[in-house]
Structure 1
């Protein structure tokens, strides 16, 4: 897994924003900065790396806050929330910057028993109202609060969560497809959360979607990077030429607690 024990959260986030070429020259258009985060607490008080990030890129004028309510599905929640904020903004050029990435600084941030090993990866994207290079067609989310607890210490809770997980994930992905007016057959790709390969083999059997169309390259080489998985896997798909204009694809994510989310987009 990708780890940097000597690096800070700011060290992790800065390169992701710096590599966002579309941001250069448009910093003044950024109205909101959202940090999509899995862990409620990311650094000790009074450190605030998000506001240090604003200083680094000349974004102090933007309203900045953290989204944590959906754990590792928070990046999809952040994109949806950014879209709602921008739709209400009178400036048609207004932008929102969404960043994701966290440090594995506790045991709970390093491991989900029998499910995933976490890594330190970061990503960033810009959101605007109206059309763009990738257009959001739908978003669906489902929460099962009965699984809110410490899976590492409660084996019975873990067992129940593992039994409920496949059906809940399929239901939310199907809901997103229906809201977008799409089907499993019309999808070109599924961009997963990088928890493990086995769970996606089971989900593909349940839905009939081909496993080879699920971008699983980063499960082994990068690991589960909290809420950043969605953007990391999109970067992999775009860099690999896996998406063409007009293609529909689905991003899926789940967060402990438990949240299941899916978003359908058009490239």
Structure 2
């Protein structure tokens, strides 16, 4: 089976920053500011009135091109674009008001993935849009990309990208987590570099698709523990043998409990952006991965888990090994 590598993590956040206290004062939270601050959240980023989810996708790709100049030569050779949205409405760049006037559904099918292909001259790439995985969508796209590259030898590299913004008037809190609008991207390829994909696992409990925040939190520990232990067992290791966990930005208290259950040192859980970014929907793992890579915390040969939980209810995790700086 061909080795698959994840490389060039990049991201873009909504242009407006706001403290937890300000978000609470604006009536955009469900919990108190003190409760969210105690959980590790300090501020979040949200879009202004004119900023779209597609702007966030373009911003993430611009960040990739700026952070890794070599990707300027790689983008024209991308074979497939896997474009992920958590909220289905972000999978359409068209004007819903124009549909209401014309009743023409083409206004509901202005797909951002096609725009991205054209705007960044990825002419040889075909596009696939993915959703209904909530916050696990980015990890799901990486798994789909790996399967495509392994099953179709003519395909060499895939762009995985996610972008979501909450609609105007939305509460910026879900399941006791402070939310940010944002996008994230990476390249998955057969070319060695970055991180080797050692395994992937995903669990869905559709019976809990409409779970309340309290029910979601209650199921989080059991399913996250099962997800991680099953993935590690498939790789012939225990969670404690993994060097690092690079998770979603979720309540620090929850991760202390889960770390104890997994018998994993909490100090080896890396979520450096929880205070400054909050939970950026599907992008947290990639955002944290880029941030810790910049701080040189993960060494060549280290292994890491990237777990994510989302509505649906879904739990997803990747097991990676760093192969190059």
TM-score, length-scaled by structure 1 = 0.90
**Local SS of the residue matching 1:52:** helix
Structure 1 residue 69 displacement after superposition:
2.8
Q: Structure 1 residues 188 and 107, CA, compared in 2 at 3 Å: closer, same or farther?
A: farther
* CA displacement, residues 4-52 of structure 1 (integer Å, 9 cap, x when unaligned): 2131222211121123224211233211101122112214424432222
Aligned to 2:157: 95
Q: Which has the larger radius of gyration?
A: 2
What is the rounded CA distance, in whole Å, between the counterparts of 2:214 and 2:53 in structure 1? 33
Q: Is residue 73–residue 254 contact of structure 1 (8 Å, CA) maintained in 2?
A: yes
1:54 to 108, 117, 120: 117
Contiguous gaps of at least 5 residues in structure 2: 1-43, 97-107
CA contact (8 A) 1:140 1:261 kept: yes
Match of 1:23 in 2: 71
2:218 equivalent in structure 1: 163
Q: Measure, in 1, the Cα distance between the counterparts of 2:157 and 2:63.
A: 17
Contact in 1 for aligned 2:143/2:200 (Cα 8 Å): yes
Pair 1:75 & 2:138 matched: yes
RMSD of equivalent CA atoms:
1.9
| Equivalent of residue 63 in structure 1, options 109, 118, 126 | 126
Note if contact 2:228-2:239 (Cα within 8 Å) is conserved in structure 1. Answer: no
Corresponding residue for residue 245 of structure 1:
300
Q: In the alignment, what sits opposite 2:83?
A: 35
Match of 2:189 among 125, 128, 137: 128
- The equivalent position to 1:4 in structure 2, one of 23, 47, 50, is 47
Preserved CA contact (<8 Å) 2:174 2:213 = no
Structure 1 residues not aligned, in runs of 5+: 152-156
Structure 2 counterparts to residues 246-265 of structure 1, below 5 A: 246-265=301-320
After superposition, the C-alpha distances for 1:126-153 in whole angstroms (9 at most, x for unaligned) are 011364321010111111112111x5xx
SS in 1 for 2:299: coil
Q: Distance in 2 between matches of 1:160 and 1:232?
A: 27
Q: What residue is the counterpart of 1:154 in the other structure?
A: none
SS of 1:174 mapped into structure 2 = helix
Residues in 1 aligned to 2:182 and 2:246: alpha-carbon distance in whole angstroms: 16
Q: What aligned pairs does 1:166-177 form with structure 2 within 5 A after superposition?
A: 166-177=221-232
Runs of 4+ in 1 over 6 A off after TM superposition: none
- Does the 8 A contact of 2:196 with 2:321 survive in 1? yes
- Structure 1 residues 31 and 105: alpha-carbon distance in aligned structure 2, compared to 1, 3 A threshold: same
Length, aligned pairs only: 259
Match of residue 206, structure 1, among 261, 278, 291: 261
Q: Evaluate the alpha carbon distance shift between residue 182 and residue 130 of structure 1 in structure 2; reply closer, same or farther with a 3 A threshold.
A: farther
Distance 1:19 1:208, change over 3 A: same
